[in-house]
Amino acid sequence: MSSPSAGKPAILSVDDDPGVSRAVVRDLRRRYGAEYRILRAESGPQALEALREMKLRGQPVAVLIADYRMPGMDGIEFLEQAMDLHPYARRVLLTAYADTSAAIDAINVVDLDHYLLKPWDPPEEKLYPVLDGLLDAWRSSEQRPVHETKVIGNRWSPRSSQVREFLARNQLPYRWYVADEPEGTRLLEAAGADPVNCPVVITSGGQALVQPTDGELAEHVGLSTTPTGEFYDLIVVGGGPAGLGAAVYGASEGLRTVLVERTATGGQAGQSSRIENYLGFPDGVSGGQLADRARRQAAKFGAEVLTTRDVVGLEVNGSARTVRFADGGRLCAHTVIIATGVDYRRHPAPGVDEFTGRGVYYGSAMTEAFECADRDVYIVGGANSAGQAAVFLSRNAKTVHLVVRADTLEKSMSHYLIQQIAQIPNIRVRARTEVVAAHGDDHLTQIILRDNESGLEEKADTERLFLFIGAAPQTDWLDGVIERDAAGYVLAGPDLMVEGERPAGWELPRPPHHLETSVPGVFVAGDVHADSAKRVASAVGEGAMAVMLVHRYLA
């Protein structure tokens, strides 16, 4: 095996067939040899030894390419172990057509980025486009130093959990230290901070932030929070799939576009461990990956993306549309697209609010997944987000209990997910059941389940409860400006027409466009739209369609 050297990032190919291995390396060197160190190994153990050496020397690894069928350690086993050494390297599996199903199954094991069928000739069509995309994504993540941001906090602190989730959802690498463990204690002493003041975040530049707000975090870790202009063609409020879709299409079509997001791009979809029914991703894609790609795509076309800016009001000032921020700031544009999505409803059971962030989590809380290893985990919800979380957590958890009030998953979950869940032995579906109480001391230790058919209650010991119990729009900031339905969802287009009459205050000679709200020039897209489909694909589609209607309005 070629010996690794410092300098260039590495692309490592692993194949036990010397002829195939040489062919892969030949094609890789032809295209990428000037910028990357091209390495090859003829077995998984040999490749792992090289990866360990590179890890110790601090040498980056960009892409791992492994053959599926190798004696002793197959490609999936190798990639699974390689993830622990170089988690940010992109992973590709080489496979024959007969092994395609195994490659697809591997997606849920090693978070595979792509699989390539052998032979891959011509490489200009089948190999290079795939690797170009993976290397672009890797370079984007490498712009932030891996593991240089440190978070020190208490294990059962709600704010510590929120800080970790904020960094993770914004694709910002960090390392987590528990305050009362040796390394955490040393870091706190070095920062001059007291454990009672956790969480403490130490930035890559060595600055200690004590109990930082999301805005302070964003400012110090390189996220943009301040607009560069005062007036835009389009303001997109909300950074979920609909908002990102609108930002991409708006900026790519020449509109001065700014996207404003309260927490992190991706919305609820961004927390999904695996989206498998989105067009163009036959192997599936995590919500975080999809959001990251869309955010980079929007930025590529010139859209500004602002985070930690909470929009609290909307005003009509002549031809301008103005959004007001919680900090007193404001931003104006010709048009606005409302794409704020929905938030999870709060669970009414006694004790749940008390232990939120201390064992009870709304959404997937991906940062807590490691703590679920070999434990009983409970998930409440029967829609796709709950099913995706169950599949993801089942990799490490002892048992995943999926608690559903309905008598079957078929009423709210996609068929492909139901089939997956049925094939995973450590997922148990608890139909006609709900959580009625939560108990514990400094953190969750027990929940009470009620069988709604028999009325019997059961105690269940657990330290992790994830809630996916439906969603509600947070649209109070539109009071008195935009018409909504009784549940708070935004009405648009034909839904505003009552017996052929236009909405009150509508002054234009034409009726509202399809996604146009009761205020001309203000549009809606995605889950916050009344009677929306609540799917990623439809949200992206509405975001794109809203931009087309923005152009029509501006014309």
Whether 1 is covered by a domain: the verdict is no
Rounded Cα distance between 362 and 345, Å, is 9
Q: Which of 142, 163, 184 is the last residue of a domain?
A: 142
- Between CA 384 and CA 272 the distance in angstroms is 9
Same domain assignment for residues 480 and 462 = no
Question: Does residue 3 fall inside a structural domain?
Answer: no
Same domain, 334 and 372: no
Q: Which residues partner with 67 through β-bridges? A: 94
What is the spatial distance between Cα 166 and Cα 149, in angstroms, rounded to a whole number? 13
Question: What's the pLDDT tens digit per position in 500-521?
Answer: 788 888 989 999 999 999 999 9
- 426 with 278, same domain: the answer is no
Is residue 115 a part of any domain in this protein?
yes
Average pLDDT (294-302) is 94
Domain end: 469, 502, 521, which one? 469
Task: Evaluate if residue 147 carries a pLDDT over 70.
Answer: no
Q: Is residue 369 part of a domain?
A: yes
Rounded Cα distance between 161 and 142, Å, is 24
Range with top average pLDDT, 87-91, 264-268, 429-433: 429-433
Average pLDDT over residues 411-437: 95
Q: Which residues are CB-contacts of 282 (< 8 A; sequence separation ≥ 6)?
A: none
Is it the case that residue 3 has pLDDT exceeding 70? no
Write out the two tokens for 531.
């009677």
Average pLDDT, the chain: 89
Confidence of residue 98 (pLDDT cuts 50, 70, 90): low
**Are 509 and 544 members of one domain?**
yes
Residues 137 and 24 in one domain: yes
What does the pLDDT read at residue 143?
44
Cα–Cα nearest to 74, from 29, 35, 120, 105: 105
Residue 62 forms part of a structural domain: yes
pLDDT at residue 123, rounded to an integer:
86
According to the model, what pLDDT value does residue 286 have? 82
The predicted-structure confidence for 460-499, as pLDDT tens digits, reads as follows 999 999 999 878 899 999 999 999 999 999 999 999 998 7
* pLDDT for res 141: 67
* Cβ-proximal residues to 498 (8 Å cutoff; 6+ apart), any chain: none
* Helix residue ranges, H only, 143-212: 158-169, 182-191
Contact 199, 159 (CB under 8 A): yes
Domain co-membership, 435 together with 413 = yes
Same domain, yes or no, for 37 and 76? Answer: yes
Report the DSSP beta bridge partners of residue 310. none
Which residues does 258 contact at the CB level (< 8 Å), separation at least 6? Answer: 227, 229, 232, 234, 235, 236, 303, 304, 305, 306, 331, 333
Summarize the confidence of residues 395-401 as an average pLDDT: 94
Contact by Cβ (8 Å): 400, 394? yes
Two tokens, residue 488? 């708070």
Are both 212 and 244 inside the same structural domain? no
Mean per-residue pLDDT, 222-247: 96
Answer whether residue 351 is part of any domain.
no
Q: Does one domain contain both 216 and 273?
A: no
Q: Are residues 14 and 95 in the same domain?
A: yes
pLDDT band at 110 (very low <50, low <70, confident <90, very high): low
pLDDT at 4: 43
Domain limits for position 444: 360-469
Q: Answer yes or no: do 452 and 478 share one domain.
A: no
Maximum separation of any 2 CA atoms in the chain, in Å: 76
Please tell me the pTM assigned to this model. 0.76
Res 88: pLDDT: 83
Q: What is the CATH number of the domain that holds 427?
A: 3.50.50.60
Last residue of a domain, one of 406, 435, 469: 469
Instruction: Decide if 5 is inside a domain.
Output: no
Q: What is the tally of structural domains in the chain?
A: 4
Distance CA 283, CA 409 (A): 23
- DSSP symbol at 328: S
CATH number at residue 189: 3.40.30.10
Q: Which residue has the higher pLDDT, 344 or 521?
A: 521
Residues 124 and 160 in one domain: no
